[in-house]
Structure 1
Amino acid sequence: MNRKKIIGNILVSLLINGGLPLLVYTILEGHMTDVMALSIAAIIPLLDTFYHILKHKKLDVFAVFMATGFILSAGAVLLGGSQQLILLRESFVTGIMGLIFLVSLLFPKPIIYYFAFRFIASNDENQKQAFADNWKFAYARKVMRIMTAGWGAALLGEVVIKVIMVYSLSVTAFLALSNLVMYGILGIAIGWTYLYRKQSGRRLAEIKRESAFPILK
Structure 2
Amino acid sequence: MVNGSDEANTGRGPADGTGLAEASGRHAWTALALDVVIPLAVFYGSRAAGTDQWLALVLAGVAPAAGIVLTWVRQRRVDATALFVIAAMALSLLVAMVSGDPRALLARESWITGALGLWILGSLALARPFLLDVAIKVSPPGAARRFDELWRHSPVFHRWLQLASVGWGTAFLLDAVARVVMAYALPLDSVPLLGVLVLVVMLVAAQAIVMVHGRRSGALARGRG
Q: TM-score range by the shorter chain?
A: 0.5 to 0.7
Paired residues of 1:98 and 1:156 also in contact (CA < 8 A): yes
Superposition TM-score, scaled by structure 2 size: 0.64
Is 1:97 the counterpart of 2:123? The answer is no
Counterpart residue identity of residue 44, structure 1: L
Q: After TM superposition, give the deviation of residue 41 of structure 1 in Å.
A: 1.8
Q: Name the counterpart of 2:162.
A: 145
Paired residues of 2:103 and 2:184 also in contact (CA < 8 A): yes
Residues 66 and 193 of structure 1: is their aligned pair in 2 closer, same or farther, counting only changes over 3 Å?
Answer: farther
Q: Name the counterpart of 2:103.
A: 84
Q: Percent identity?
A: 19
Q: After TM superposition, give the deviation of residue 156 of structure 1 in Å.
A: 0.5
In 1: Cα distance, 2:65 partner to 2:161 partner: 32
User: Aligned with 2:95: secondary structure?
Assistant: coil
Counterpart residue identity of residue 126, structure 2: F
In 2: Cα distance, 1:74 partner to 1:143 partner: 35
Provide structure 1 residue ranges, at least 5 long, that are not aligned to the other structure. Answer: 52-58, 209-217
Paired residues of 1:101 and 1:110 also in contact (CA < 8 A): yes
Q: Name the counterpart of 1:163.
A: 180
> 1:4-49 deviations in whole A, cap 9, x for unaligned?
755588547854x56557677767x97x974765443222343466
Q: How many residues align?
A: 192
Residues 199 and 68 of structure 1: is their aligned pair in 2 closer, same or farther, counting only changes over 3 Å?
Answer: farther
Is 1:41 the counterpart of 2:61? The answer is no
Paired residues of 1:21 and 1:44 also in contact (CA < 8 A): no
In 2: Cα distance, 1:23 partner to 1:180 partner: 12
Which one of the candidate residues 92, 114, 122 is aligned to 2:133?
114
Q: Name the counterpart of 2:147.
A: 131
Paired residues of 1:18 and 1:66 also in contact (CA < 8 A): no
Superposition TM-score, scaled by structure 1 size: 0.66
> 1:160-180 deviations in whole A, cap 9, x for unaligned?
222233344443554563332
Counterpart residue identity of residue 146, structure 2: A
What do you get for the CA RMSD once the two structures are aligned? 3.9
Counterpart residue identity of residue 157, structure 1: L
Provide structure 2 residue ranges, at least 5 long, that are not aligned to the other structure. Answer: 5-18, 47-54
In 2: Cα distance, 1:12 partner to 1:160 partner: 24
In 1: Cα distance, 2:224 partner to 2:28 partner: 31
